Amino acid sequence: MMKVGITTVDNPYDPIDDFDRWYQFDRSKDYRTCERLAILAKSSDEASPLDEFQAVEEAVDRLVELNPIGLYRKVKHE
């Protein structure tokens, strides 16, 4: 299954494979990427796993799009 994440260009950690260190770096820079992503994600407790995946991917794409200084980038893993 495909996994999608978001990161900043300066974060040396992978948000999918090394989330704890990625998150710690993100918080140390006060980027609050998870919080920003949560605001954009249209998810629900009743959503299927596929619907949840699509909601997260759409939120990642939107955050990258709204990012005027090029800070964010999308990460994908098979």
Per domain, the residue ranges of the chain are 3-77
Averaged pLDDT, 10-28: 98
pLDDT, the chain, mean: 93
Burial letters 30-62, b for 16+ CB under 10 A, else e: ebebeebbeeebeeeeeeeeeeebbbbbebbeb
**Residue 7 — very low, low, confident or very high, per pLDDT cuts 50/70/90?**
very high
pLDDT at 66: 92
pLDDT in tens, 39-75: 998 877 888 888 888 889 999 999 999 988 999 999 9
* CB of 73 closer than 8 Å to CB of 61: no
